[in-house]
Amino acid sequence: MELIWLEDFVAVAKLRNFSQAALARHATQPALSRRVRALENWYGASLFDRSTYPVLLTRAGNEFLVVAEEVIANLYRSRREARASSAHSAQTIRFAVPHALASSFFPHWWRDQPRQRHFAATVMAANFDECVEMLLGGACQFLICYEHESASNGLQAHGVLRKQIGRDRLVPVSACDANGRALFGLDGLDGGSGTPTPLLAYPSTSMLGRIAGGLHARLEGSGNVVLRFESALVEALKAETLLGEGVAWLPASAIAAELQAGTLRVIENDDLSAHLQISLYRPMAVAGAEDADPLAQIWNGAAEYRESLQQ
């Protein structure tokens, strides 16, 4: 069965005349009549009473008309949606972004990009390793991530391009008491009571965990600390910190509002913080296609978001 059969049938049913239907369908009458007959053979019943003029639908024809119109409408609707989806997909840029950057950095950076109004952005938030898998596996076109000299990500070995688009700092913070003083310090003592300072940490397998691990080691070499809570999510560590559960190393960009409100306080010096780069990665462009590549438009226009630099 072919779609043209259904369209010919509906035209005859509406006009009640094979000649007029053929004219409306830009077909010869014999060709249209053959297709209608083929449809009747496929359906197994006569659809028209040809003994009358104008022709009339049989009972089977009346019942089938409802089905035919619905099938035709659904097919064309599905095609419109598929075409619209295809066109939309061509203008949709997919970014794999670690959770912390997805909420604190990406919206501001994307808003300031000169070409962003020509594209729709889809952000796939995941942990760093999953983001790398998405980039290398073709599930996304770009990866945005933190970088630090102490934790190589190995991406350069996979033939990808890199561009710096921001900066941040990983800083130790504590909740504050009613007087605005930090609940914890980094001298290894809890408020001078002699109890260990509780740490809120990332898993050592995560990117921020690898970076913060070196800072923890410096602290543990000179003070008494104990692990209280562990999570790969910056927001989870921030929530625990705000509850006064311990000291966490958090990206400054993710706690700007809390620092301004005085609910969190940075309790470090430069020896116990890490200056982070925020990098944009994309696969190597296909030779000769760079100028026409919409991804190249994003890449070439990608500028560093200066407000992400935390002093």
pLDDT at 189: 42
Kindly state whether residues 175 and 271 are assigned to the same domain. Answer: yes
pLDDT grade, residue 307 (50/70/90)? Answer: low
Instruction: List, for residues 128-164, the tens digit of each pLDDT value.
Output: 888 988 888 888 889 999 999 888 777 777 778 899 9
* pLDDT tens digit sequence for 274-287: 999 999 999 875 44
pTM of the full structure: 0.65
* Residue 128 · residue 207 · CB < 8 Å: yes
Output the pLDDT for position 269. 63
Q: Is the pLDDT of residue 288 over 50?
A: no
Q: State which residues form the domain around 60.
A: 3-84
Q: Are 135 and 96 in contact (CB under 8 A)?
A: yes
Domain termination residue (choose one: 84, 100, 120): 84
Cis amide bond preceding 196, omega within 30 = no
Mean pLDDT score, 70-89: 75
Q: What average pLDDT score do residues 87-105 get?
A: 82
% the chain with pLDDT above 90: 48
What is the reported pLDDT for 12? 95
Q: What residue type is 109 in one-letter code?
A: W
The percentage of residues in the chain with a pLDDT greater than 70, rounded to a whole number, is 87
Average pLDDT of the residues in 69-96: 77
Of 11-25, 75-89, 248-262, 279-293, the poorest mean pLDDT is in: 279-293
Domain final residue pick, 57, 84, 111: 84
Longest CA–CA span in the chain (Å) reads 105
Report the sign of the C-alpha dihedral through residues 116, 148, 99, 205, in that order: positive
Under a CB-based contact definition with an 8 Å cutoff, are residues 119 and 91 in contact? yes
Q: Which two tokens stand for residue 114?
A: 């000169």
Residue 234 lies in a domain: yes
230 located within any domain: yes
The listed range with the strongest mean pLDDT (15-19, 113-117, 224-228) is 15-19
Mean pLDDT of 190-218: 81
Domain boundary among 84, 113, 132: 84
Confidence of residue 86 (pLDDT cuts 50, 70, 90): low
pLDDT at position 180 is: 86
Tokens of 69: 């119109």
Domain count, the chain: 2
Task: Tell me which residue of 185, 186, 170 sits closest to 255, measured CA to CA.
Answer: 170
The model's pLDDT over 163-195, given as tens digits with 9 standing for 90+, comes to 999 999 999 999 999 888 999 887 644 444 567
- Kindly state whether residue 224 falls inside one of the protein's structural domains: yes
> Has residue 77 been placed in a domain?
yes
Does residue 184 form part of some domain? yes
Question: Does 197 reside within a domain?
Answer: yes
- Is there a domain that residue 114 lies in? no
Q: What is the CATH number of the domain that holds 231?
A: 3.40.190.10
Q: Does residue 209 contact residue 232 with C-beta atoms inside 8 Å? A: yes
The arithmetic mean of pLDDT across residues 32-60, rounded, is: 94
With 90 as the cut, is the pLDDT of residue 247 above it?
yes
Give me the mean pLDDT over the 77-83 stretch. 75
pLDDT at position 272 = 85
pLDDT of residue 293: 63
**CATH classification of the domain holding 17:** 1.10.10.10
Kindly give the pairing relationship between strand 120-126 and strand 92-98: parallel
Assess contact for 288 and 203: CB atoms under 8 A.
Answer: no
Mean pLDDT over 86-114 rounds to: 82
Q: Find which of 165-179, 189-203, 207-221 is predicted with most confidence, using mean pLDDT.
A: 165-179
Two tokens, residue 97: 């972004």
Output the pLDDT for position 194: 63
- 45 located within any domain: yes
* Position 2, amino acid: E
Q: Is-contact 101 145, C-beta < 8 A?
A: yes
